[in-house]
Structure formats: structure tokens, C-alpha cells
A and B are shown apart, each in its own frame.
Chain A
Amino acid sequence: MSDKRLPGNTLASHKAGRTVASAPASIWRRTLEHRSFLAGSILTSLLAGMALLSLFWTPHNPTRINIRQRLASPSLEHWLGTDQFGRDILSIIMTGAQNSIMVGVVAVGIGLLFGVMLGLIAASAKGWVEELIMRVCDFMYAFPVILLAIMLVATLGSGAINAILAIGIFAIPTFARLARASANAIWSREFVLAAQAAGKSAIRITWEHILPNIVSVIVVQATVEFALAVLAEAALSYLGIGSQPPTPSWGRMLSEVQTLVFLNPWLAVYPGAAIAMTVLGLNLLGDGLRDVLDPRLVYKR
């Protein structure tokens, strides 16, 4: 035994894999002290709140066209002004939040469900099953999300659903790799051996030992993937292969105003800022969660 148990940042037992934290009390303390976690949750709740509010109320009808009011500057009536069809920009942005959240939830849901399942199967089955699953994941990595979406759209036609599907499919290998890597790390621990020695089946071990120990990594990755999904959807809508009119979408707002930026630059600023703030909030939240949930778990993007 050496002095490895000594606290201290460079000599601390970072590879000893010892649990230092995760006592409930210290989780709360760390949570409140963690600045990026706080900032992230505030931004994310803002987004969620905005989307929620827009379900019941927006300053104006986001789809109502009013040519006389087109390209109005910000005023008391239209806080952020109007677009080229006279629609209220604030209302569109608020409603657009719904779209982003929906895309994020569904796409991450698809990726999470299938990815984690595949990763856990790969880690518990080992051998050729693991090899096969991982090779398929590698293969999927060769298709960038946009390309995948383009192919889907090319075969099935444009539309929000296909875009979400493409984003979700693209997230599968990421979750699968992460789940497998973290699950393998847990499988090699002695407490799993102890559970095997106790006679537990691989499924029970996965459920009782593996999953609880990797859930924090998965949650962190889910927030990051949520952010990526919002970005990807915006890009696809911008290219015209994402959500279709009249559904308000931040990405499509940008493509619609592109020719007008020289007249009224703010038209391009608002939706972009909305995307950036959403993504920033989710990324900060993910970063914070990573530190708060478990400071020792290694994570890879």
C-alpha cells in the first residue's frame, strides 16, 4: 500500500476507480455550487418554459400573414419586429421552441433506446455479437447525419419525420459505443464477478449492476445529443429538407430570411441566437451533470 489514498490533484488515485463521492448530501452541495450546471439548467428551463407557454399563448398568431406589417422594426406590439410576411417574430421563435424540443426528445429517444440496448447486449454477449454490433456502428459513423438525412429524404420525401428519424438513427451508434465502453468497464469490476458467483444471469446483472452504474454517463450523453439534434434539425430545415411550412422552425426561419439579411440583419440574428442559446444551455447542463453525477467517470464525445 502506498500513499495513493492521499487527496491532492495530481497524485490522487484517478485510476484507482474508487468512489469518492455520490453521497446524496454532497450531490446537492455540488449541484448548487456548480456554475455551468446552474447556467445550463436556467437556459434549458427557459427553453422549456417558452415552448410550454407557446402551447397556450403567444403574443400573436405565429402563422398569420399580415403584408401591411411586413419587416416592421421592434415595437411594443411586435417586441422583435415582424418578418417579410408580417408575422410576429417573437411568436414564431416561441413556437419554434416546441419544434426543437420535439425533435430533440424523439431523436434522442430513438438513439438512446436502441443505442443503449445494443451497447448493453454487445457488452454482455461479447464475442462475435459484440464484434458485429460494433462493426455496424462503425459503418454508420461513415454516414454523416446530413448525408443520412439527405438519403432518407431522397427515398421517402421531405418532412420533419424523416429528418428526426435520420438524426435519431445517427445517434444510435454514439449511444451504443458509449454504453458498450462503460458497460465493459463495469463488467470487468469484481463486484460483477461476485454477482456471477452468486449465480445471477447476465440479464439480471445488466439490469441490477451495469445499468445503474452507467446511467449517469448516458444521461450526460443524452443532453449532449439533444443539443446535437437541435443543431442538426436546424441545419436540415435550413436546407429545406427538415420541417416543412407552416410549422415554425428556427432553421427554416434562417433560410427564409437569408436574402433579406442585407435589409434587416436582425431577422437572421434572432433565430440563430435562439438555437445557440438552446444548444449552449444543453451543453452546459451536460457538462454540469457530468461533474455533479460522477466526477470519476470518463466520457467521450
Chain B
Amino acid sequence: MTLLTVDDLSVSLDTAQGRAQAVRDLSFDLGPGDTLGIVGESGCGKTMSALAILGLLPDNAVTTGAIRLNDRDLLNCTEAEWCDIRGNQIAMIFQEPMTSLNPVHPIGRQIMEGMFLHRALSKAQALEETIRLLETVGIQNAAERLKHYPHQLSGGQRQRVMIAIALANQPRLLIADEPTTAVDVTIQKQILGLINKLIDEFDMGLVLISHDLGVIAKLVERVIVMYGGVAVETGSVETIFSDPAHPYTCGLLSAIPRIDRSTHSRHKRLPTIPGVVPDLVDMPAGCTFSDRCSLATDTCRTVPPVPVVLSSHHQVACYHLDRARAQWQTGPR
């Protein structure tokens, strides 16, 4: 049984500069309790994919394909049906805990709001549950804290409150969009630990969106690498990080400086990917990575590659994956 099925999802946005193809033919599925990471750089379509699953795309977005939650087709839902699903079956944690909380309401009220919306609770029950929830996400003096306003909390505490809001109705699916980008590393560790603990405890499916490979590796089992709106490589965390096959994935992995406590990499040059992330309005006709890829041929530039199944957990959309893998094996590291 699957919890979430995304089938050939495409999202485009009508902008003043033209039509931007934000997501192209994205497909994946997720069982209950599964964890999936979507990794990529700015403009790769990862946030748009998440917002599509939540039905919160901007008004100028056009969506095709299918998203099914427990076999219910979400894209054909009415607004009222969406409202019933959001915050109840699917919940989301956003990137900026600073601006994602309403500054004029106390946090307790912001958490309870979602509870009252989806469940028939008495005020006392909701209050009790909110206190328990705040304790679950690791906020001390919960009964006192829920009267506080967002500006009275630290960044880490605010993100904990955001998580509490997401968990208010024990959703089946949690989407986390860059949940730790705005916080310090020590807080990041705590927040990731908390999310990890909670998805086990609540048995939720998780879709984690991040540009940070470290965050992805810490939380999820399966990864989709997106580039220019396209899933270029899909696989288990171990496969993607140790045996990547797409030239972009390989390039990305080798471009990250990492702390290696045994050897010194200092003064060594990092391998780089030349060029810049493409403009969504003006995408290469073939493979989206073709204009930055050293292996690109004319076919790459004109015909988009179809994903090749390498193993049950590994799919790559590249014509030259054998050469890319060979290069990676003998690579600079």
C-alpha cells in the first residue's frame, strides 16, 4: 500500500518573462513511514513540488499529472476538500520559522487553530493536547510558553513550534521544506534529531526538501536529485552518495568541501561544475544539465533522456551514465 503517489507531475508558472517550467514529469511514491528526500540547488523545482502536494501553488501555476494520497486524486479536489486534507492528513514545515509564524497571535493559539479546524475538541482538551505537543517537540514550561508570542522565542524554539503546528492533527504525511536552513548548526542537529524521532513515533511519511546533502543523509532513506525541474537521479541514500551515476550528482558531491579529520585537503582545489543554474524560463531543449555537462553530446542537447533503471532503487536520466560512473570511480577523490 502506498501513502502518496506522484505521477508525471509537471508544474509551470506564467510569469512576465514567459512560461517557467518549474517541475517536469516528476514521479515517485511513498509508503506509510517512508522517508524521501528531494535535493537540489535553487530553482530546481523542489519547493514547487512540495507546494503542489499541498495544493498551495501560486495562482499563476498550471499543474498536470496526478498526485494521489491513499488513492484519492488530489489534483481534482475542490478547495473545501483540500482544506480538509491540509493540516489534517498532510502537514508542512517551512524554511523560515521567523516569518512563518503570525506575529500577532500567541503560539498556543496558532497550534490549537489547526486542532479546532479538523477535530471536535473542547477548549480544555485542545489546551491539554497543545501542552503535551509542546513538550513533545522539546519546549520547556509548555503551559507558560503557549501564551508567548513568536518574537519572544528563539529561532530554534520557533522552528519547534512550527513542528508542533504541523503535528497538531497527527498527519499521515509530513513535508519539510529546508527545515533547518535558517538555524545554526547546533540547533540544526537538535531539530533534525527531533524530526527523526517524531516520524518514528507518529509513523508518518516524510518528504524532506533540502539543498544540504548532509541533512538529506541524516533523515531519509530514498533521494531524488532534481536539476532544472527534472528528477535526474533517484535512489537510496547509500547508492546516491557512494555510487552516483548522473554527471550532475557526481559534480555536486565532489564540489562540497567536507571535514575530513584525518587528512588535509587544504589548498587543494575543489572540483567544480562550470556555469550556472539554468533559468527556468529558458531551459535547454534536451537534458536540463547539458549546458554544464562535460560529457554532453548533440543528442543530450536536443532530446531529453529517459530515466534508466539501474537497480530496483536506482534510476538515472542520462545518456552517458557509464562514462559518468567511470569518471566518478577514478575521480579526484
Tell me, yes or no, whether A binds B.
yes
Contact B48 A6 (CB under 8 A): yes
For A8, the chain B residues whose CB sits under 8 A away are: 13, 15, 20, 22, 58, 60-61
Chain A proximity of B39: nearest CB distance (Å): 12
Contact of A7 among B44, B47, B211, B280 (CB under 8 A): B280
Structural contact, B281 and A7, CB atoms closer than 8 A:
yes
Q: C-beta contact mask, A46-88 vs B, less than 8 Å → 1, else 0?
A: 0000000000000000000000000000000000000000000
- Whether the Cβ atoms of A6 and B60 lie closer than 8 Å is no
Q: CB-CB < 8 A to A1: which residues of B?
A: 41-42, 211
Contacts of A1-26 to chain B: CB distance below 8 A: 1-11
Which of B42, B58, B181 makes the CB contact (< 8 A) with A11? B58
Residues of A within 8 Å of B81, CB to CB, are: none
Q: Are A2 and B211 in contact (CB under 8 A)?
A: yes
Q: Cα distance A125–B46 when bound, in Å?
A: 45
Please, how many angstroms separate the alpha-carbon atoms of A1 and B178 in the complex?
9
Residues of A within 8 A of B43 (CB): 3, 5-6
CB distance from B22 to the nearest CB of A (A): 6
The answer to whether A7 and B17 have CB atoms under 8 Å apart is yes
Q: Chain B residues near A3: list those with CB within 8 A.
A: 22, 42-48
Contact of A2 among B16, B59, B95 (CB under 8 A): B95
Number of contact residues on B: which range applies? 20 to 34
Select the residue from B17, B58, B95 with max chain A CB neighbours within 10 A.
Answer: B58
Chain A residues with CB under 8 Å of B60's CB are 8-9
- Contact between B47 and A2, CB atoms less than 8 A apart: yes
Contacts of B46 in A (CB 8 A): 3
Contact A6 B13 (CB under 8 A): yes
Assess whether B34 is interfacial by the CB under 8 Å rule.
Answer: no
Shortest distance between the CB of B255 and any CB in chain A (Å): 14
Instruction: Provide the bound-state CA to CA distance between A10 and B15, in Å.
Output: 11
Judge whether A6 and B280 touch: CB under 8 Å: yes
Q: For the complex, what is the distance from the CA of A209 to the CA of B44, rounded to whole Å?
A: 34
User: Are B58 and A4 touching (Cβ within 8 A)?
Assistant: no
Would you list which residues of chain B between 33 and 75 have a CB under 8 Å from chain A?
A: 41-48, 51, 58-61
Report the separation of the CA atoms of residues A139 and B58 in the bound assembly, to the nearest whole angstrom. Answer: 44
- A18 to chain B minimum Cβ distance, whole angstroms, is 12
Return A250 CB to nearest CB of chain B, in Å.
40
Q: Contacts of B20 on A, CB cut-off 8 Å? A: 6-8
Given A10-B58, A10-B59, A11-B58: A5 touches B281 (CB 8 Å cut-off): no
A2 near B17: Cβ-Cβ < 8 Å: no
Q: Which of B8-23 contact A (CB under 8 A)?
A: 13, 15-17, 20, 22
User: A2–B181 contact, CB under 8 A?
Assistant: yes
**For the complex, what is the distance from the CA of A187 to the CA of B151, rounded to whole Å?**
25
Chain A residues whose C-beta falls within 8 Å of the C-beta of B291 in the assembled complex: none
A residues near B51, Cβ cutoff 8 Å? 11
A97 CB to closest chain B CB, in angstroms?
Answer: 37
Does B177 have its Cβ within 8 Å of any Cβ on chain A?
yes
Chain A 129-148 near chain B by CB (<8 Å), digits 1 or 0: 00000000000000000000
Nearest-neighbor residue (CB-CB) of A4 within chain B: B42
A249 to chain B, nearest CB (A): 44
Bound CA span A4–B58, Å: 13
- List B contacts of A9 (CB < 8 A): 58-60
Interchain CA distance A2-B39 in the complex, whole Å:
10
* Interchain nearest-CB distance for B178 vs A (Å): 5
Q: Quick one: given A10-B59, A11-B58, are A5 and B42 in contact (CB under 8 Å)? A: yes
Considering the chains assembled together, what is the distance between the CA atoms of A3 and B44 in angstroms? 7
**Beta-carbon contact of B22 and A6 below 8 Å:** yes
Instruction: Give B140 Cβ to nearest chain A Cβ, in Å.
Output: 30
Complexed CA–CA distance, A283 and B333 (Å)? 64
A-chain residues with CB within 8 Å of residue B59 when the two chains form the complex? 9-10
Given known pairs A2-B42, A2-B177, A2-B178, the reply for A7 and B95 (CB within 8 Å) is no
**Shortest beta-carbon distance from A34 to chain B in Å:** 13
**B61 with A7: CB separation less than 8 A:** no
Q: What residues of chain B have their CB less than 8 Å away from a CB belonging to chain A?
A: 13, 15-17, 20, 22, 41-48, 51, 58-61, 95, 177-178, 181, 211, 280-281
The 6 closest A-B pairs by CB, nearest first: A7-B15, A3-B47, A10-B58, A1-B42, A8-B58, A8-B13
Interface pairs (21), CB distance under 8 Å: A2-B95, A2-B181, A2-B211, A3-B22, A3-B42, A3-B43, A3-B46, A3-B48, A4-B42, A6-B13, A6-B22, A6-B280, A7-B13, A7-B15, A8-B13, A8-B15, A8-B20, A8-B22, A9-B59, A9-B60, A10-B59
